[in-house]
Structure 1
């Protein structure tokens, strides 16, 4: 009799545990389990053909040929076609030195017993003029030192016999550029004969303080702005542009980045770190796919694709920017090669979905935990 009652109680406990487990499973399926984001099927269901607003495209050789491009940096024709500044041309703000010899003992400018007069620190005013005694206000800007010498000589020769004049242009204080950012020597530098081009001026400033592979050089000239990679500056002579007074040269580290989310070794925003990186390299930069949770058939690259590229990828005319979800299936025979050839761009989001069995593990774990909790409560009650 006692044994029968014990078995009955045990059966009631088992049925109660099963009931609780079923209730827990139902609740879990209704409210969902914690996860890092949508699964593969949920993303596919948002494709354009299913009424969504994103084109879901499996990456193949055609996609790699048409979607792979790197937005190029470079200079406009205004920068490329500008000639070098004449190293000896006088400009407003320059400081000049004059030496004047007179062929008489008692000259206009020379002190008694001397035949020469030295005039130092003559600054060219904002209008481009200097003042020379007995020669008056003389336009200096736009002339070379030799041209200015001739002008001053012609004005003085009517007042003193056979004057001899030399003009020295101090180091181009009126023709300067500014170097800012990640350069070893930030500051204002004169454009002199050895530093009339971009690469020479950067060398004058001591070079860049970041890794050359990620250094970007921006030149601002009036309303125009141009940008190049430092490596391109050295390997492409056409980018070594002539500088102009007032240019601002900014040295900075590459600001491009991508975002990594989902079943990866890390979830973060990552600097690209190089002019070009592939999807394989990008995944490796955040620790690779998570061995325990990642679905290798569900590696997505999400981006807003320009109309020109979207048209080439989709094979039809597109008039505006399109949302694209590129799918990399690493389990295909050539999947790793396709991922190696697929280039990541600034602003991309790499999202790796969880494998389907991960959700089942979570459900079973939750159910097992719920059933175990019920048994503990039963034991406490008994």
Structure 2
């Protein structure tokens, strides 16, 4: 009777073990290599699976290029006393005749106090008409008024002063020590000088982006590029909005790595090997170094270059494969660029599944062995 019970127990254990393995009931971190390759277009799937080599690395090496448009670059320096809409000006006109256009009888000077610059930037001066004041310095406006009056009164002399008004100013917000509205003064007429006026950055330089909004135009640059290329240190204009913020690009990491998370970029460019290092490297107890995958929706132009095909239309799903055990595998991973919204996935080594299978079988046999002991 005991022999029969033992035989039945072993048979039942083998059946349960086979059921576990055949039903793929073992826990794991994600799909295996074979399952990913089965999703290839060659296997009637919907993604192109591509092994990374030098040609693929060159075709996919696309990094974001930031820079100011020509309108920003061509803008010249403005004076710290530039007139703006809303300013209040004082005008004094001297005429070289006894009976002048503007002066009272017996007077040679005429004072026009509190001349308001309207919302469109204009002022009105008798006999000179409507004149554009905003954007000019008091000195330039003096020359314009003098030219207008010179045709009607001999050798007029004009003085223009700003009586009230804040002049040109910009707002600086984001990752700086002191946020606020700052006047454009002679030492702070350029972008870098204004950032210094705001106390400098409080975020890492490597991932700091400077956004400038001027009217309806927007442009941004990397902070490091601002000092590497003097042309990017643009002249400021009144009303500019300056926002300093961290780079928002990120990639997701899953599978047999040191962590599974969405990870922000820490540098302007990021290679696959740097991305793996950034998340703690491969899990030495689980990872398969021949199964490092990058999932990405690739733009049409790049997909055509990678696959050597001209019949592709629209974005394409591509899965790039890195084998770190190949002689050039580490070099390929070092040169392959990670991009925004990429998914980095590392498969588990085959022996890990065998270990889980054996553990499942051993765990299945133990309760049956107990049942056999009780039966005896």
Q: TM-score range by the shorter chain?
A: 0.7 to 0.9
Distance, in Å, in 2 between the alignment partners of 1:123 and 1:265 is 66
> Where does residue 199 of structure 2 map in the other structure?
206
Cα drift, residue 35 of structure 1: 1.0
Query: Per-residue CA shift, 1:204-258, capped at 9, x if unaligned?
Result: 2222210111101111223322121100111012222222332221110111111
- Pick from 368, 371, 374: which aligns with 1:374? 368
2:213 is paired with a residue whose SS is strand
Structure 1, unmatched stretches of 5+, are: 1-7, 110-115
Distance in structure 1 (CA, Å) of the matches to 2:9 and 2:115: 100
SS at match of 1:275: coil
Deviation for aligned residue 1:360: 1.4
- 1:90 equivalent to 2:95? Answer no
Does the C-alpha gap of structure 1 residues 214 and 97 become closer, same or farther in structure 2, counting only changes over 3 Å? farther
> Deviation of residue 99 (structure 1)?
7.7
Q: Tell me, yes or no, if the aligned pair for 1:93 and 1:174 is still in contact at 8 Å.
A: no
Instruction: Output the CA distance in 1 between the equivalents of 2:212 and 2:147.
Output: 42
User: How far is the alpha carbon of 1:263 from its aligned partner?
Assistant: 0.7
Query: What residue number does 2:342 align with?
Result: 348
User: Does the C-alpha gap of structure 1 residues 356 and 96 become closer, same or farther in structure 2, counting only changes over 3 Å?
Assistant: same
The CA distance in 1 between the partners of 2:220 and 2:149, in whole Å, is 50
Change (3 A) 1:350 1:155: closer
Closer, same or farther in 2 for the Cα pair 1:130/1:182, shift >3 Å?
same
Task: Indicate how the Cα distance of structure 1 residues 147 and 358 shifts in structure 2: closer, same or farther if over 3 A, else same.
Answer: closer
TM-score, normalising length: structure 1 = 0.83
For residues 380 and 100 of structure 1, do their structure 2 counterparts lie closer, same or farther at Cα, with a shift above 3 Å needed? farther
Q: What is the match of residue 20 of structure 1?
A: 12
> Does the alignment pair 1:250 with 2:240?
no
Say if 2:316 is the partner of 1:336: no
Instruction: Tell me the residue number matched to 2:230.
Output: 237
Question: Which residue of the other structure, out of 31, 44, 53, is the alignment partner of 2:46?
Answer: 53
User: Within 5 Å, which residues of 2 pair with 1:36-47?
Assistant: 36-47=29-40
1:163-198 Cα offsets, whole Å, 9 max, x none, are: 976434479734322212112222222333333322
Report SS of the residue matched to 1:371. helix
Find the residue that maps to 2:282 and give its secondary structure. Answer: coil
State how far apart, in whole Å, the 1-side matches of 2:17 and 2:92 are.
Answer: 100
* Whole-Å separation in 1 of the counterparts to 2:165 and 2:327: 65
Cα deviation, 1:240-289, whole Å, max 9, x if unaligned, reads: 22223322211101111111100111100111110012111111111111
CA distance 1:353–1:191, shift in 2 (3 Å): same
Say whether the 8 Å CA contact 1:95–1:173 is kept in structure 2. Answer: no
- 1:262 is matched with which residue? 255
Alignment pair present for 1:66 and 2:56: no
Change in 2 beyond 3 A, CA 1:155/1:243: closer
Q: Is this contact kept in 2: 1:93–1:173, CA < 8 A?
A: no
Question: Aligned pair count?
Answer: 362
Alignment counterpart, residue 275 of structure 2, candidates 270, 282, 285: 282
The residue aligned with 1:360 is 354
Measured in 2, the distance between the counterparts of 1:173 and 1:266 equals 53
Displacement after TM superposition at 1:309 (Å):
1.4
Q: SS at the partner of 1:277?
A: coil
**Residue 26 of structure 2 contacts residue 357 of structure 2 at CA under 8 Å; is this kept in 1?**
yes
Distance 2:113 2:4 in 1: 111
Mapped partners of 2:182, 2:54: distance in 1: 50
> Is the Cα contact below 8 Å between 1:215 and 1:253 reproduced in 2?
yes
Q: What is the CA–CA distance in structure 1 between the aligned matches of 2:365 and 2:269, rounded to whole Å? A: 53
Query: 2:316 maps to which residue?
Result: 322
**Contact 1:172–1:192 (8 Å) recurs in 2:** no
- Select which of 186, 192, 214 maps to 1:193: 186
Secondary structure (helix, strand or coil) at the match of 1:41 reads: helix
Pick which of 29-38 and 270-279 moved more.
29-38
Judged with a 3 Å threshold, the aligned counterparts in structure 2 of structure 1 residues 43 and 90 are, in CA distance, closer, same or farther, namely same
- Choose from 127, 134, 138 the match for 1:141: 134
